Amino acid sequence: MSTLINQVKRAKESSIILASIKTKTKNKALENIAKAIKKNKNKIIRENKKDVQRAKKNNLNQSLIKRLVVDNNKIKEISDMVKGVIKLQDPVGKTTEAVELDKGLNLFKVTVSIGLIGVIFESRPDAAIQISSLCIKSGNAVILKGGSEAENTNKILVNLIRESIKNYIPKESVQIIETRSQVKEILKLNDYIDLLIPRGSNKFVKFIQDNTKIPVLGHSEGICHVYVDKDADIKKAIDISYDAKCQYAAVCNAMETLLVHKAIANKFLPIMIKKFKKADVEIKGDNKTRKIVKNIKKSTEKDWKTEYNDLILSIKIVNNEDEAINHINKYGSKHTDAIVTENQKTADKFIDLVDSSSIMHNCSTRFADGFRYGKGAEVGISTSKIHSRGPVGLEGLVIYKYVLKGSGQVVKDYADGKKKFTHKKIK
């Protein structure tokens, strides 16, 4: 048996133990993680610098390097995030439905941990802590595979987690793998792994889905849009569009395409593009946009399908909200899309018809985040429609089982018509 299979087997065995551990114990493990991160911040930053230096040497995109950096502020943010998860209600063991099938025969639908989860994520070291914290709180063991650019940072963070939890829960509940060959190998381990969560491009998520029998909760790319309607408040539109693109461009909920109603374009675009250019945003526009504002690049069909993760933006002028909605549903990734308008009827139409996991009305796409949604953290943003959608927090890391409690009943009595089901809800 290979080393990896042994590792996965130990994680699976740990998941069974972890699933029944009480909330208080899980929270103590999380408290220890938060303390360890602060206590070892200098070691973490030192290891992170190795990753950053290598990324610079390999000419990694500046926006991606920014996402890779762990400094004092990031350490505090990570520690606070773990504390936020501690405060959340334990999602395990909640009765969501209760039905009396007959007197003395009661059916309960109860939330339970999923089991062993494999998460493959991009070069964001804080994701290792977010994912591990959520899995621990929800009673799931986890196997992590981070981006190779963050290898040193991920390694020290996972080692700290394992040391921090060992007196409360099995340390084998959190594992790390480091190579692409290991990723290909775990895709075959459907006897042990209950769920895979890949975070990355559509192409990457599809590769995972096509090469495994394990259920996949896809965190795909974020081709996010802001549509500025003819009834938009100009100031709101400028502030929201700027924040959606520039607040942090290297993340999946940043705007990649700005759609503008033709009736407001002449007034809005010159101001907006000037502001973007001051922030060094590269603008690509359709022909109508380029007639209003000169000296910008021409957009192509490929641009509408591209997640830049950088200070690059595509702009298109549309005739109405229907064209905006159709464009988003055709080119978007079902992640996060926003409308800026004072017309409630138009906003409602946009909310109803845009097929994305998060829809924003008069606010930035950057709000699409587990922490900002009050989930404490997120394991990813699911763009699929099965089990969980949008920022996936604790509620997306549990499933349910049915528990039927009787007093000697047998099906034969009901089949013979001696007894009848009452199906009364238990309050």
Model confidence at 393, in pLDDT bands (50, 70, 90)?
Answer: confident
- Identical topology for domains 3-220+384-402 and 224-367: no
Rounded Cα distance between 357 and 390, Å, is 5
- Residues whose CB falls within 8 Å of the CB of residue 204, separated by 6 or more in sequence, listed in order: 198
Task: Give yes or no for residue 180 having a pLDDT over 50.
Answer: yes
Report how far apart, in Å, the C-alpha atoms of 143 and of each of 139, 172, 289, 346 are: 14, 9, 47, 44
- Output the pLDDT for position 90: 96
Tokens 């700005």 belong to residue: 258
What CATH fold (topology level) applies to the domain 3-220+384-402? Aldehyde Dehydrogenase; Chain A, domain 1 (3.40.605)
Task: Give yes or no for residue 375 having a pLDDT over 90.
Answer: no
Q: Do 272 and 226 form a contact (C-beta atoms < 8 A)?
A: no
Q: 158-167 pLDDT, tens per residue?
A: 999 999 999 9
pTM of the model: 0.84
Domain boundaries, the chain: 3-220+384-402, 224-367
Q: Do 14 and 29 form a contact (C-beta atoms < 8 A)?
A: no
Q: 224-247 pLDDT, tens per residue?
A: 999 999 999 999 999 999 999 999
Rounded Cα distance between 125 and 110, Å, is 34
Task: Give yes or no for residue 173 having a pLDDT over 90.
Answer: yes
Q: Which of 280, 34, 30 is nearest to 167 (CA)?
A: 30
CATH of 224-367 given 1.20.1600.10, 3.30.1330.10, 3.40.309.10, 3.40.50.300: 3.40.309.10
- Output the pLDDT for position 232: 98
**Number of C-beta neighbours around residue 318 at 10 A:** 21
What is the chain's Cα-based Rg?
24
Which helix (H) or strand (E) segment holds residue 276: the answer is helix 262-278
